[in-house]
Amino acid sequence: MRIVSRGDRLYRTGLTTLALLLPLLLFFIVSELVVGSLPAVKQFGLGFLTKSTWDPVAGQFGALPLIFGTIYSSLVAMVIAVPLALGAAIFLTEFAPRWLRTPVGTLIELLAGVPSVIYGLWGLFVLIPLQRDILWPILRPVLSWLPFFKGPFYGPSVLAGGTILAIMCLPYIAAVSREVLLAVPAPQREAALALGATRWEAVWTVVLPYGRAGIFGAIVLGLGRALGETMAVTMLIGNRHEISLSIVQPGYTIAAAVANEFAEAASSMHLSALVLAGLVLFVITVAVNACARWLIWRVARGSAVGSAAI
Amino acid sequence: MAANTSRRVFGAFMTGATYSAAALAILPLAAILSMLIVKGAGSLDWNFFTRSAVPLGEPGGGFANAIVGTLIIVGVAGAIGVPVGIGAGIYLAEFGGGRVGWIVRFVADTMNGIPSIVIGIFAWTWIVRPSGHFSALAGSAALAVILAPIVARTTEEMVRLVPNSLREAALALGYQRWRTSLTVVVRTAGTGIVTGCLVAVARVSGETAPLIFTTLGNQFFSTRVLEPMAALPLQVYVYAVGPYDEWHRQAWAGALVLILLVLSLGTLARVATRRRQAGA
């Protein structure tokens, strides 16, 4: 539309300025991270990503255990969260009695509003004792031959951190999956039912495949949340710089290392290494989130489904 | 017939499985809320709200400094982040059709996905390092950076919901575009925008990670934004991972206050939305 009056021009200029603050801010964030991590990049180069020693006293920093732990704990979280979130989403769209849909949906949304530190507190004093004193004695004889369950279980571990991450990501995955399933046209279901499918078969053979890309997007979105989640993981994962496949052993994540060490870092190289670790986390999460948005957008095609949930 | 029966049984079984998945999904919420009340409510007394932290071993002591600190930090963050977010949101809805709009939208979505701890690093390198000391203001800045893109996107959604006919009516009456936008379009979307802001503020008020090395925390009562300040989520974290039972007791109480704060903001938002729908 053509802009005529001075007021219009002023209004538009003002709003544009405010809007452009966001790209400017993102530019600042990236440049501050890059500049802050330059000393570590110069010192360690690619070795930062492939070495496993993290020794602030000797000035040696290799972030491989952190990167591994970040991804591994998030994958553990996905293994737990995805079936539950999808089950809940299918329940809410296909099977739940109508009067139950809104309250259950609201409760799951509320789960997303609980602050991370409260999950951490609860995990520390409720979840860990539960897993250590009740679950582990039962599961240990059955599972301890697997490499994923080797070694003693003291409590703070990838399992504890992954479980809390699962609880935290679940509402995001469930909410977006639900939107995706709601977007599946009713005639698709009806056709399957008319052919004699049971309601479950209609869901499994028609509805889920139809929403496949969107559901995958929802899962990737949850993964993005899990990768960058900080407080609850810091409190539960055990904070040990080692790579282990066993989920009952302690691990570490990038976010947790930054949270623990940043305020106390004494040398400028330690700080720079932590900023670089943050930059790595930034790149991973931005890539994962972009992937998720693309997948959801492909399904939603410009409707508000994806953006509202993200 | 036998095949049919087994299909039906399997279908019923899987339907039951989705019921239990939904139940399991809600279970943690119930478990967390009940534990917060059981372990926290008993410690909420007059002291808790009126006194600051005391050295270990002394009786009493509370979260007054942390509660006031959080209100200040989040208040300042809102004062910075909300106007930017609303402005950007209106821009996106009213003028955001072109390439600039696409970029701003993409950037806002990208920023929404940045882990809050990374925003904390940014606030540290941007404000704490140059100024040479930790400050509540740096924490507010971090929270504002998280807040602005969320507010921008929800504001955009709300302004877009306003029917075009309203806009056309105002323009037909000879209103200029800016006046139409502000007094008709934005005003119509007003409650929705307020709701979005409340939800966003509720979300950042529980953030801990970006505060650890910006506001740092403070044992004492302080309202000076250029110095380290206590914050509710931060204090809950420090007390939870600390070794003392007395700290743990207070951490539960602090967490209860924190979730009441977050939930009441969320409820306020829901009430505002409902009133709007009732009025429409």
Q: Does B211 touch chain A (CB under 8 A)?
A: no
Task: Using the structure block, give the residue that is written with the tokens 């910075």.
Answer: B80
Q: Determine, for residues A230 and B35 on separate chains, whether the beta-carbon distance falls below 8 Å.
A: no
Please tell me which residue, A300 or B205, carries the higher pLDDT value: B205
Q: Determine, for residues B113 and A21 on separate chains, whether the beta-carbon distance falls below 8 Å.
A: no
Six-digit token string for A90? 């299918």
Nearest Cβ partner for A259 among B103, B212, B263 = B212
- Residue A220 near residue A295 (C-beta atoms within 8 A): yes
Q: Determine, for residues B35 and A126 on separate chains, whether the beta-carbon distance falls below 8 Å.
A: yes
The answer, yes or no, to whether residue A160 has pLDDT greater than 90, is: yes
Q: With bands split at pLDDT 50, 70 and 90, how would you rate the model's confidence at B220?
A: confident
Least Cα separation, residue B66 to chain A (angstroms):
15
What pLDDT was estimated at residue B3?
Answer: 66
What pLDDT was estimated at residue B279?
Answer: 46
What pLDDT was estimated at residue B280?
Answer: 42
The answer, yes or no, to whether residue B268 has pLDDT greater than 60, is: yes
Most confident of A32-41, A49-58, A101-110: A32-41
Least Cα separation, residue B46 to chain A (angstroms):
23
> Average per-residue pLDDT in chain B?
90
Q: With bands split at pLDDT 50, 70 and 90, how would you rate the model's confidence at A3?
A: low
The answer, yes or no, to whether residue A307 has pLDDT greater than 80, is: no
The answer, yes or no, to whether residue B243 has pLDDT greater than 70, is: yes
pLDDT in tens, B161-217: 999 899 899 999 988 888 899 889 999 999 899 989 999 999 999 999 999 999 888
Q: Where are the domains of chain B?
A: 64-279
- Which conformational region is residue A252 in: left (phi greater than 0), alpha (psi within -120 to 50 degrees), or beta? beta
pTM (predicted TM-score): 0.92
Q: With bands split at pLDDT 50, 70 and 90, how would you rate the model's confidence at B275?
A: low
Establish how many alpha carbons lie within 13 A of residue B127's alpha carbon, considering only the half-sphere containing its beta carbon: 24
Least Cα separation, residue B145 to chain A (angstroms):
8
What pLDDT was estimated at residue B107?
Answer: 95
Q: Determine, for residues A228 and B24 on separate chains, whether the beta-carbon distance falls below 8 Å.
A: no
Nearest to residue A157, comparing CAs of A47, A61, A76? A76
Mean pLDDT of B7-15: 92
- Map chain B to HEC letters: CHHHHHHHHHHHHHHHHHHHHHHHHHHHHHHHHHHHHHHHHHHCCHHHHHCCCCCCCCCCCCCHHHHHHHHHHHHHHHHHHHHHHHHHHHHHHHHCCCHHHHHHHHHHHHHHCCCHHHHHHHHHHHHHHHHCCCCHHHHHHHHHHHHHHHHHHHHHHHHHHCCHHHHHHHHHCCCCHHHHHHHHHHHHCHHHHHHHHHHHHHHHHCCCHHHCCCCECCCCCCCCCCCCECCHHHHHHHHHHCCCHHHHHHHHHHHHHHHHHHHHHHHHHHHHHHHHHHHC
Lowest-pLDDT choice from B60-69, B122-131, B234-243, B254-263? B60-69
Q: Does B34 touch chain A (CB under 8 A)?
A: no
What pLDDT was estimated at residue A310?
Answer: 39
Least Cα separation, residue B116 to chain A (angstroms):
8
Please tell me which residue, B223 or B172, carries the higher pLDDT value: B172
The fraction of chain A above a pLDDT of 70, given in percent, is: 95
Mean pLDDT of B125-154: 94
Q: Determine, for residues B21 and A83 on separate chains, whether the beta-carbon distance falls below 8 Å.
A: yes
What pLDDT was estimated at residue A300?
Answer: 64
Three-class SS state of A266: coil
Q: Does domain B64-279 have CATH number 3.30.565.10?
A: no
Q: Does B252 touch chain A (CB under 8 A)?
A: yes
Please tell me which residue, B280 or B245, carries the higher pLDDT value: B245
Structural domains present in chain A = 36-309 (1.10.3720.10)
